[in-house]
Structure 1
Amino acid sequence: MGLLNEKTIGEIVKEAASLFPNREAYVYPEHGIRKTYKEFDAETDELAKAFIGMGIQKGEHIAIWSDNKREWLLSQFATGKMGAVLVTVNTNYQEKELEYLLQQSDSTTLILCESFKSTSYLDIIRAICPEIITSKKGNIQSEKLPHFKRVIVMSENDYPGIYKWSEFVAFANKVSDEALDEYLEALHNDDVINIQYTSGTTGFPKGVMLSHKNIVNNGQLVGDYIHLTEHDRLCIPVPFFHCFGCVMGTIASVTHGTTMVIIEQFDAGKVLKMVQDEKCTALHGVPTMFIAELNHPDFKQFDLSSLRTGIMAGSICPIEVMKKVIEDMGASEITIAYGQTETSPVITQTKTDDAIEKRVSSVGKAHPGVEVKIIDPATGEDIPAGVPGELCTRGYLVMQGYYKNEEATNSTIDDNGWLHTGDIAVMDDEGYIDITGRIKDMVIRGGENIYPKEVEEFLYQHPSIQDVQVVGVPDQKYGEELMAWVILKSGENLTPEALREYCKGKISYHKIPKYIEFIDAYPMTASGKIQKFLLREMSKKRVEV
Structure 2
Amino acid sequence: MTTPAVPSYVSGTSEKPLLGDTIGDNFDRTVAAFGDREALVEFATGRRWTYRQLAEEVNAVAKGLVDLGVGKGDRVGIWAPNCAEWTFTQYATAKIGAILVNINPAYRVHELKYVLNQAGVRTLVAAPSFRTSDYAGMIEEVRPECPALEDVILIGQEEWTSLVAIGRGGSAALLDELQAELSADDPINLQYTSGTTGFPKGATLSHHNILNNGFFVGEMCTYTEADRICIPVPFYHCFGMVMGNLAATSHGACMVIPAPGFEPATTLAAVAAEKCTSLYGVPTMFIAELADPSFASHDLSTLRTGIMAGSPCPVEVMKQVIDRMGMAEVTIAYGMTETSPVSTQTRADDSLDRRVSTVGRVMPHLEVKVVDPETGLTAPRGTPGELCTRGYSVMLGYWEQKDKTAEAIDAARWMHTGDLAVMDDDGYLNITGRIKDMVIRGGENVYPREIEEFLYTHPDILDAQVVGVPDERFGEELMVWIRMREGATPLTAETVREFCQGKLAHYKVPRYVHVVDEFPMTVTGKIRKVEMREKSVELLGLEKVAATRHA
TM-score tier (shorter): 0.7 to 0.9
In structure 1, the residue corresponding to 2:412 is in which secondary structure? Answer: coil
Aligned to 2:118: 104
Cα distance in 1 for residues equivalent to 2:472 and 2:251? 40
Matches within 5 A, 1:73-472: 73-129=87-143, 142=144, 144-156=145-157, 164-172=159-167, 175-200=170-195, 203-263=198-258, 264-441=260-437
The letter of the residue matching 2:135 is: Y
- Please identify, of 39-48 and 83-92, the stretch whose mean Cα deviation from structure 2 is larger: 39-48
In structure 2, the residue corresponding to 1:203 is in which secondary structure? Answer: coil
Relative to 1, partners in 2 of residues 1:14 and 1:146: Cα closer, same or farther, differing over 3 Å?
same
Q: 5+ unaligned residues in a row in structure 2: which ranges?
A: 1-12, 441-447, 449-465, 475-492, 494-504, 517-534, 541-551
Structure 1 position 63 matched with structure 2 position 77: yes
Relative to 1, partners in 2 of residues 1:325 and 1:530: Cα closer, same or farther, differing over 3 Å?
farther
Cα distance in 1 for residues equivalent to 2:250 and 2:23? 9
Relative to 1, partners in 2 of residues 1:540 and 1:243: Cα closer, same or farther, differing over 3 Å?
farther
Cα distance in 2 for residues equivalent to 1:487 and 1:82? 41
Relative to 1, partners in 2 of residues 1:540 and 1:486: Cα closer, same or farther, differing over 3 Å?
farther
Cα distance in 2 for residues equivalent to 1:53 and 1:402? 29
Relative to 1, partners in 2 of residues 1:482 and 1:165: Cα closer, same or farther, differing over 3 Å?
closer
The letter of the residue matching 2:147 is: P
Report the alpha carbon displacement of residue 202 of structure 1 after superposing the two structures with TM: 5.1
Report the alpha carbon displacement of residue 482 of structure 1 after superposing the two structures with TM: 10
In structure 2, the residue corresponding to 1:115 is in which secondary structure? Answer: coil
Decide whether the 8 Å contact of 1:54 with 1:171 is kept in 2: no
Decide whether the 8 Å contact of 1:483 with 1:539 is kept in 2: no
Report the alpha carbon displacement of residue 243 of structure 1 after superposing the two structures with TM: 0.1
Cα distance in 1 for residues equivalent to 2:467 and 2:217? 38
Aligned to 1:520: none
Decide whether the 8 Å contact of 2:264 with 2:285 is kept in 1: yes
Q: 5+ unaligned residues in a row in structure 1: which ranges?
A: 130-141, 158-163, 443-451, 454-470, 472-479, 489-516, 518-528
Structure 1 position 42 matched with structure 2 position 56: yes
Aligned to 2:520: none
Cα distance in 2 for residues equivalent to 1:156 and 1:432? 50
State the TM-score, normalized to the length of structure 2.
0.78
Relative to 1, partners in 2 of residues 1:538 and 1:248: Cα closer, same or farther, differing over 3 Å?
farther
The letter of the residue matching 2:155 is: M
Decide whether the 8 Å contact of 1:364 with 1:432 is kept in 2: yes
The letter of the residue matching 2:403 is: E
Decide whether the 8 Å contact of 1:210 with 1:400 is kept in 2: yes
In structure 2, the residue corresponding to 1:223 is in which secondary structure? Answer: helix
Cα distance in 1 for residues equivalent to 2:234 and 2:38? 21
Cα distance in 1 for residues equivalent to 2:190 and 2:22? 16
Report the alpha carbon displacement of residue 12 of structure 1 after superposing the two structures with TM: 1.8
Structure 1 position 33 matched with structure 2 position 34: no
Residue correspondences, number: 452
State the TM-score, normalized to the length of structure 1.
0.79
The letter of the residue matching 1:239 is: P
Relative to 1, partners in 2 of residues 1:482 and 1:33: Cα closer, same or farther, differing over 3 Å?
closer
Decide whether the 8 Å contact of 1:51 with 1:171 is kept in 2: no
Decide whether the 8 Å contact of 2:18 with 2:365 is kept in 1: no
Report the alpha carbon displacement of residue 53 of structure 1 after superposing the two structures with TM: 1.1
Cα distance in 2 for residues equivalent to 1:329 and 1:483? 29
Report the alpha carbon displacement of residue 215 of structure 1 after superposing the two structures with TM: 0.4
In structure 2, the residue corresponding to 1:114 is in which secondary structure? Answer: coil
Determine which structure has greater relative contact order: mean sequence separation of CA pairs < 8 Å that are 6+ residues apart, divided by chain length. Answer: 2
Structure 1 position 51 matched with structure 2 position 47: no
Decide whether the 8 Å contact of 1:25 with 1:260 is kept in 2: yes
Report the alpha carbon displacement of residue 297 of structure 1 after superposing the two structures with TM: 1.4
Cα distance in 1 for residues equivalent to 2:40 and 2:408? 37
Cα deviation digits, residues 198-226 of structure 1 (max 9, x gap): 13465210000000000000000000000
Identical pairs, percent: 48
Cα distance in 2 for residues equivalent to 1:173 and 1:215? 28
Cα deviation digits, residues 505-524 of structure 1 (max 9, x gap): xxxxxxxxxxxx9xxxxxxx
Decide whether the 8 Å contact of 2:284 with 2:473 is kept in 1: no
Decide whether the 8 Å contact of 2:189 with 2:205 is kept in 1: yes
Report the alpha carbon displacement of residue 531 of structure 1 after superposing the two structures with TM: 6.0
Decide whether the 8 Å contact of 1:5 with 1:213 is kept in 2: yes
Cα distance in 2 for residues equivalent to 1:121 and 1:248? 27
Cα distance in 1 for residues equivalent to 2:235 and 2:354? 29
Cα deviation digits, residues 457-508 of structure 1 (max 9, x gap): xxxxxxxxxxxxxx9xxxxxxxx999654569xxxxxxxxxxxxxxxxxxxx
Cα distance in 2 for residues equivalent to 1:219 and 1:418? 21
Report the alpha carbon displacement of residue 265 of structure 1 after superposing the two structures with TM: 1.1
Aligned to 1:136: none
Decide whether the 8 Å contact of 1:250 with 1:260 is kept in 2: yes
Cα distance in 1 for residues equivalent to 2:256 and 2:104? 21
In structure 2, the residue corresponding to 1:248 is in which secondary structure? Answer: helix
- Please identify, of 167-176 and 67-76, the stretch whose mean Cα deviation from structure 2 is larger: 167-176
